[in-house]
Each structure stands twice: as C-alpha cells, then as structure tokens.
Amino acid sequence: MRQVVVISSAEPVKKTNPAKKITFRWKYIFLPVVFLFLSVILAAFFYRLLPVEVAYHFQNNVPDKWLGRGAFIAWLVIPQFFFTLLSFIVVRLVLLGSHYWPAEDTPMNKLLPVMGNMVALPQIIFLFAMLDFFLYNAYQIRLIPLWIITLIVMILGGAVLGVFFIRIIRQFRRQQSKNLQE
C-alpha cells in the first residue's frame, strides 16, 4: 500500500506570466550600434583624404610613427565592431539568465539598457581618437588631448551611471518592501 504525503504551504505559489519575460530590444545596444555606424561613416568620409602613410603616434605633437591607410582604418573600426559585439553578447547572456527568474521581481527592464549601452563609454573615446587622427592627417588640425576627453567621459559616465544605479536600487527596494507588505 502506498502512502501519499501532501505538504501544503500557507503561501500560494506565484506563477510567472511568460508573456512578461524580458525580450531583446535594440534600445539595449542602441549607443554601441550608433557609434559603430559613426565610425564607419567617418572612416568612409576620410579615407580619400588620408595620405598613403598615416601618422598615428606623436612625440611632442610631432608624428613619429606611421601606418598604411587601410591598416590604420582597420585598427580604428574593428575595435568599434568588437565593442558593439561585446554589448550584444552581454545583453544576450543576461536575457538567457533572465529565464530563470520572474521579470516582475527584478529591475532588469531598466538595467539592461544601461548594461548594453555602457560599452559606449570607451567607444566615445575611440571615436574621438579616430576623429583626431583623421583631422591631423587630412588637415593638420589637432583637437584637445585625448587624456582630457577620456577624463571628461569617465567623470560624466560615472556620474550618470551612479545616479542611474541609485535610482534603480531605490526603486527595487520600494518594490521589495511593497511586496513584503502585501
């Protein structure tokens, strides 16, 4: 004779609605894609203006190292492509993991656009360096030093990310306390 044991719980089990699962949206990687396209457009525009040998290293504002035009363009555009690919992979991995937790209990809907678009910070620096190299080699114009742009991007990016994460944490805590009170 078999005995069946039934264990009851005081709390009803919450079922997640599969329609509310997080799905891929282009806004999650919008900025990396935009900066990739801007890089390709800049490279296409300046390609005909560049000399056969392009200066890429400067000592006291005087060029001391050169590279072929095609290789130079590749060294500037390929990293933008890989940054964009990295952004896509990060978002896809998070989306794969999101199948294991209910979407309504996490702040992922608001974190995913930040996680995917965060890669745009180094892309901005790369894009500025690309523009600086192109302008110097095409017109002998130098922009402000790269370290200044890097510092500005890091400070502004850190401030924006800090504010965003503080808002998300506060919202998540409010949601958790609301769920506990119910």
Q: Which residues of 7-40 are buried (b: 16+ CB within 10 A; e: fewer)?
A: eeeeeeeeeeeeeeebeeeeebbebbbebbebbe
Per residue of the chain (182 residues), what is the pLDDT tens digit? 566 555 555 554 444 445 467 788 899 999 999 999 999 999 999 999 999 999 888 888 788 888 999 999 999 999 999 999 999 999 998 888 777 766 565 667 777 888 899 999 999 999 999 999 999 999 998 889 999 999 999 999 999 889 988 888 888 888 888 888 87
Main-chain dihedrals φ then ψ at residue 57, nearest 5 degrees:
-130, 140
Find all residues with CB under 8 Å of 93, minimum gap 6, and list them. none
Candidates 148, 113, 142; CA nearest to 27 is 113
Which pLDDT value is given to residue 16?
Answer: 47
Q: Which long-range contacts (CB under 8 A, 24 or more apart) does 169-173 make?
A: 171/107, 171/110, 172/106, 172/107
pLDDT, tens digit, for every residue of 88-111? 999 998 888 777 766 565 667 777
Cα 51 from Cα 177, distance rounded (Å): 63
Expressed in angstroms, the distance from the first to the final Cα of the chain is 43
Dihedral sign for Cα 29, 79, 57, 73, please: negative
pLDDT, tens digit, for every residue of 111-141? 788 889 999 999 999 999 999 999 999 999 8
The shares of helix, strand and coil residues in the chain, as percent rounded to the nearest 5, are: 70, 10, 25
Q: Do 92 and 24 form a contact (C-beta atoms < 8 A)?
A: yes
Q: Do 83 and 122 form a contact (C-beta atoms < 8 A)?
A: yes
